Amino acid sequence: MRMTLRTALLLGAMVGTATLTMEDAHALEKGKGKTELQKNKPFPVIQKGKGEAVAQKGKVEPVARTSSSRSSASRGKVEPIAGKDKALPPTRHGMAAPLARQDKSGVRVAESASVARIGKYASPEASGGLTHTFQKKNLTKVLAGHVDLWQDPGRLAVQSGSALVIAQDGGEPLYEKNANAIVPVASITKLMTAMVVLDSMPNLQSPITISDEDVDYLRGSRSRLGVGTVITRETALLLALMSSENRAANALGRHYPGGLPAFVAAMNRKAASLGMSSSHFEDPTGLNSNNVSTAHDLARMVAAAHHYPLIREFSTTPGVRTEVKGRELDFHNTNQLVSSPTWEIGLSKTGYIQEAGKCLVMQARVADKPVVIVLLDSAGKQTRIGDANRIKRWMESASVTGKLPTRV
């Protein structure tokens, strides 16, 4: 009896164990099937605006994150990068449209194309899904190069080597940087040339002839006033101030009573009379690097030159067409800002030689205040223009907030 009971119990235990093992095996197999099913199942397509990317035909289409959009908007109203079925902003020659920013007055301002260029757009198909990375990289570079556009009104970053912003009637400078450094001034010299010519009370309609003595053999600069060209003294003065014509300026000096040596002596006497104690001139063009001055001295010269109506008119003329040896030629102002509707410029002169860098002096009304702006030794092609625009924004921003620009 006991033997039979033991046998029954042993058989029951074996059957229960086998049953449990089979159930576990079925569960394990079922779980494995689910795992394989999930592994082979494609990822769900994420709707636009709710994910980072859409997997389609092996290509990744960039979709902007919501948080990324907010971050970009706070830095200058930059729209998020569009998806495949969303059009990018209007472009010209493949370049991105100008960015918009919002200044402290709440006015949205479209930045210039040079600031806003983000780089050529490449479609996701052509770039293998790298469009977002490419544009973000270039945008970061642009913003880093123009970070001063978002600076506080009290801060001003000027790239020129020497700079000065001062009220036209003098007083304490609003801004200065190396303003007492004695440096070559290039064609800024021509403002002094014009004053000395006009002080001699010449007949502006009398003809003067361009000769071989007026040719620039020092630097080889080009001119469309060929040897033998006959123009009036007035035309020569206009071309010297507006287009920085070296041969015209030198011819004006040669036709001065006593010739070129007397003219240069008169230039230095005029500088001394204006209190330009750190200035010296050796030619009427500025091609000679021994023509030197400081930003402070040049501010005095600009303020004095502004009293001459012809200098004001000629230096701010956008362009003219004149006859040269029987041909009509167009001449343009070397300062593009005189044609800008956002500037009110009363006098202007640019200059450049290698030793001086890019130079610009202006009398202008900025934030309803007449000022003299001097920018010397700029390295980049547009640095002096960029500096002038930064100064203007800085003064206008201070005016909007009711605070006068403080001396920096």
**DSSP character string of 135-183:** HHHHHHHHHHHTGGGGS-TT-----SSEEEEEETT-SS-SEEESTT--E
- pLDDT at position 324: 92
Q: Are 52 and 35 in contact (CB under 8 A)?
A: no
Residue with tokens 């021509």: 190
Task: Given the residues 190, 270, 358, 392, select the one marked as catalytic.
Answer: 190
Instruction: Report the DSSP beta bridge partners of residue 374.
Output: 164, 361
Q: Residue ranges per domain, the chain? A: 160-401
Burial class (CB in 10 A: 0-12, 13-18, 19+), 175: buried
Task: Given the residues 72, 162, 223, 244, select the one marked as catalytic.
Answer: 244
| Residue 190 is among the residues annotated as catalytic for this protein | yes
DSSP 18: H
Task: Given the residues 72, 187, 315, 378, select the one marked as catalytic.
Answer: 187
Residues 222-259 have pLDDT tens digits of 999 999 999 999 999 999 999 999 999 999 999 999 99
- pLDDT at position 381: 74
- pLDDT at position 14: 54
The domain defined by 160-401 folds into: Beta-lactamase (3.40.710)
Could you give the residue ranges of the DSSP H alpha helices within 41-77? Answer: 66-74
| Residue 244 is among the residues annotated as catalytic for this protein | yes
- pLDDT at position 382: 79
Regions of the chain where pLDDT drops below 70? 1-154, 402-408
- pLDDT at position 394: 93
Please tell me whether residue 362 adopts helix, strand or coil conformation.
strand
Please tell me whether residue 348 adopts helix, strand or coil conformation.
strand
Whole-number Å distance between alpha carbons of 339 and 59: 48
Is 403 annotated to bind a ligand? Reply is no
